[in-house]
Amino acid sequence: MNDIGLQPRRAMTEVETWIFDLDNTLYPASCRLFEQVQERMNEFIAEFLGVGLDEAKRLRSQYFREHGTTLSGLMKVHGLDPERFLDHVHRIDLTAVPRDPALAAALANLPGRKLVFTNGSRRHAENVLGHLGLAPQFSGIFDIAACGYLPKPDPAGYAALVRRFEIIPSRTVMIEDMAKNLAPAAALGMTTVWLRGTVDWAVEGADADYIHYTVDALTPWLAGIAADRGSG
């Protein structure tokens, strides 16, 4: 397995639930899908606030930094209806994202239930999972609406996720491309896995003690876990 940990390895033999982030986690950031989302955000903000695209881009970045997501900032500062925003920004072209039969096989061979926990919408998650051919492997989606529009890493969303799916944190693994989003999961007692990224907002917190595993590629790591558990 390709893993680098800042803490001693935690046993995976008792894991019952696997929680996955969606964007830039279940497909590679190199697909640049999120760039499409960002462009759609810029267009929406420009129209919604009556500003130019440069100002819309600046506000998108500012609200992301200050409020966790651009949507959260627009809701708090401008009283935006979130469904209107989500419907617009997730109308994207998925053709740049290839189906991933190797990841589907790794997930199928991984014992335990798999959930998606995303700051995006359920519709977006369903579209992406369906396009990737991964939908059959997941038994639940917990989206931004289910969190009461409190984005990761707000601890309230994690607590709501645990309640909704009756999760036992000590028997749960959470996998994310944004390191700081793993802090509340670790605080609850989950094992955390950071899928290494390079952009500043994904790397923040990567050296913290709440990161238990760091992996460079999701599919071989999961396949190795499944193989280890199967041979055990």
H or E element in which residue 185 lies: helix 183-188
**Strand 3-4 to 213-215 pairing:** antiparallel
Q: Is the peptide bond before 153 cis (omega within 30 degrees of 0)?
A: yes
DSSP assignments along 11-49, one per residue: P-TT--EEEE--TTTTS-GGG-HHHHHHHHHHHHHHHHH
- Name the residue among 185, 212, 187 with its Cα closest to residue 195: 212
**Residue 175 is encoded by which pair of tokens?**
């996998």
At residue 231, the pLDDT reads: 54
Q: pLDDT digits over 19-73, tens only?
A: 999 999 999 888 888 889 999 999 999 999 999 999 999 999 999 889 988 999 9
What is the average pLDDT score of the chain?
A: 90
**Residues 210 and 183: beta-carbon distance below 8 Å:** yes
Q: pLDDT digits over 104-148, tens only?
A: 999 999 999 999 999 999 999 999 999 999 999 999 999 999 999
Q: Which own/partner contact pairs does 123-129 have at CB distance under 8 Å and 24+ positions apart?
A: 123/86, 123/87, 123/90, 124/22, 124/86, 124/90, 125/22, 127/90, 127/94, 128/22, 128/23, 128/26, 128/27, 128/94, 128/97, 129/22, 129/26
- Name the residue among 86, 228, 103, 124 with its Cα closest to residue 175: 103
At residue 3, the pLDDT reads: 47
Q: Name the more confident of 3 and 24.
A: 24
| Mean pLDDT, range 187-215, rounded to an integer | 91
Domains and their CATH numbers in the chain: 3-29+97-231 (3.40.50.1000), 33-89 (1.10.150)
* Dihedral over Cα of 203, 204, 208, 213: its sign: negative
At residue 9, the pLDDT reads: 42
